[in-house]
């Protein structure tokens, strides 16, 4: 069996066309959705991520500002900037790129963002809303994974979804979203004793560990849907995911590639959240 690829670039293009259309409709009413992106320090990966986020906003007609601060920025000064952006009527979404320097308490910074502008979905209020099924912003990466499942018309009801990784950004919110769609959900992590026994039962596998070849073909049930959230480099320095793509493609029913899978979807859902933050006003 050769798996069908779920193309994150193609799906993103479709969804972004809708974002552009809705943005134009808001602009007619005098509202331009605005995103503020804050970068502290000079982490090279973060610099690429924030550049891509700002460019995606511009391409879809959203307003965006990128604030770059030196590594030496104090926590108090960062909290002050967030207060100012919370009050700024031209800004509907605020994103503080993680990781932050170690002298800054990242959770404290996230909690300072107004939940109405928390387009990353990392605030405790957003996490609580997701957990209880109330309206709120969903974290962009798992939200993008859900859109990919939706794009293939996959009915999660009664299916067994196995998630590899329990981060607050991906694994845990992913579990809640799948649960909301009536899947039976298992979260595996570094202390899971027999990972293969778990993944072999899965109809859907979401790999979000951050390590190459965490999922190999012998661990996948024929026909399963495999979503690869990983962003790693192989020995040649090329971008690759957590899944052995070549091997798993021979067994799975559907698979997302890296690059061109979840990555573009994460940014797309950030645009969707920012647009919706503006629409809610
Ligand atoms: N660092 C890695 N991924 C993310 C993300 O989705 N949002 C933010 N703010 N920082 C990140």
Give the residue extent of every domain in the chain. 30-114, 139-263
What pLDDT is recorded for position 59?
97
The yes-or-no answer on residue 42 being catalytic is no
pLDDT lower than 70: segments of the chain? 1
Q: Give the C-alpha separation, 107 to 89, whole Å.
A: 24
Find the catalytic residue in 29, 108, 117, 120.
120
pLDDT in tens, 86-117: 999 999 999 999 999 999 999 999 999 999 99
Burial (0-12, 13-18, 19+ Cβ within 10 Å), 270? buried
Find the catalytic residue in 53, 117, 159, 172.
53
What CATH code is assigned to 139-263? 3.40.50.720
Ligand 1 centre to CA of 199 (Å) is 27
Nearest partner of 116 among 107, 108, 125, judged by Cα: 125
Find the catalytic residue in 97, 147, 172, 203.
97
| Overall CATH class of domain 30-114 | alpha beta
Q: State whether the Cα torsion 146-149-154-156 is positive or negative.
A: negative
* DSSP per position, the chain: --PEE--HHHHHHHHHHHHHHHHHHHHHTT---EEEEEEES--HHHHHHHHHHHHHHHHTT-EEEEEEE-TT--HHHHHHHHHHHHH-TT--EEEE-SPPPTTS-HHHHHHHS-GGG-TT--SHHHHHHHHHT-S-PPPHHHHHHHHHHHHTT---TT-EEEEE---TTTHHHHHHHHHHTT-EEEEE-TT-S-HHHHHTT-SEEEE-SSSTTSB-GGGS-TT-EEEE---EE-TTS-EE-SB-HHHHHTT-SEE--SSSSHHHHHHHHHHHHHHHHHHT-
Ligand 1 centre to CA of 50 (Å) is 9
At 221, give phi and psi (nearest 5°): -75, 135
* 91 Cβ inside 6 Å of ligand 1: no
Ligand 1 centre to CA of 181 (Å) is 25
Give every strand in the sheet of 63-69, ordered side by side. Answer: 63-69, 34-40, 93-96
Count of residues in the chain: 281
Ligand 1 centre to CA of 183 (Å) is 26
The yes-or-no answer on residue 196 being catalytic is no
What pLDDT is recorded for position 189?
98
139-263 has the same fold as 30-114 = yes
* 66 Cβ inside 6 Å of ligand 1: no
What pLDDT is recorded for position 3?
98
Ligand 1 centre to CA of 141 (Å) is 9
Q: Give the C-alpha separation, 281 to 271, whole Å.
A: 16
The yes-or-no answer on residue 53 being catalytic is yes
Q: Which two tokens stand for residue 224?
A: 């399963």
* 97 Cβ inside 6 Å of ligand 1: yes
β-pair partners for 215? 243
* 96 Cβ inside 6 Å of ligand 1: yes
Q: Give the C-alpha separation, 251 to 206, whole Å.
A: 15
What pLDDT is recorded for position 281?
83
**The ligand 1 atom nearest the CA atom of 98:** 10
* 98 Cβ inside 6 Å of ligand 1: yes
The model carries a pTM of 0.97
**The ligand 1 atom nearest the CA atom of 46:** 1
Q: Which two tokens stand for residue 97?
A: 């790129």
Nearest partner of 15 among 278, 281, 231, 276, judged by Cα: 276
* 120 Cβ inside 6 Å of ligand 1: yes
Q: How many CA atoms lie within 13 A of 250 on its CB side?
A: 8
**The ligand 1 atom nearest the CA atom of 140:** 6
Q: How many CA atoms lie within 13 A of 63 on its CB side?
A: 16
In this structure, are residues 205 and 229 in contact, taking their beta carbons and an 8 Å threshold? no
**The ligand 1 atom nearest the CA atom of 266:** 6
Parallel, antiparallel or unpaired: strands 232-233 and 239-240: antiparallel
* 273 Cβ inside 6 Å of ligand 1: no
């Amino acid at each position: 069996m050769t798996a069908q690829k779920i193309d994150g670039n193609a799906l993103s293009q479709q969804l972004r066309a809708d974002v552009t259309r809705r943005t134009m409709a808001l602009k007619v009413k005098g509202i331009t959705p605005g995103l503020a992106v804050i970068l502290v320090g000079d982490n090279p990966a973060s610099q690429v991520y924030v550049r891509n986020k700002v460019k995606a906003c511009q391409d879809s007609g959203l307003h965006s500002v990128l604030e770059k601060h030196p590594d030496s920025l104090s926590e108090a000064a960062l909290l002050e900037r967030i207060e100012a952006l919370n009050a700024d009527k031209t800004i509907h979404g605020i994103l503080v790129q993680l990781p932050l320097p170690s002298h800054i308490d990242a959770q404290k910074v996230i909690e300072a963002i107004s939940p109405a502008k928390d387009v990353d979905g990392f605030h405790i209020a957003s996490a609580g809303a997701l957990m209880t099924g109330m309206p709120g912003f969903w974290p962009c990466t798992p939200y993008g994974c859900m859109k990919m499942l939706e794009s293939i018309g996959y009915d999660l009801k009664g299916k067994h979804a196995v998630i590899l990784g329990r981060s607050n950004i991906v694994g845990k919110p992913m579990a809640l979203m799948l649960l909301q769609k009536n899947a039976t959900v298992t979260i595996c992590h570094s202390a899971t004793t027999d990972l293969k026994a778990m993944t072999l039962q899965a109809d859907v596998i979401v790999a979000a560990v951050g390590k190459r070849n965490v999922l190999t073909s012998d661990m996948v049930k024929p026909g399963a849907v495999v979503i690869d959230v990983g962003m790693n480099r192989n020995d040649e320095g090329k971008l690759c995911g957590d899944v052995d793509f070549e091997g798993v493609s021979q067994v799975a029913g559907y698979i997302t590639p890296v690059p061109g899978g979840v990555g573009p979807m994460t940014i797309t859902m950030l645009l969707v959240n920012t647009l919706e933050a503006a629409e809610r006003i």
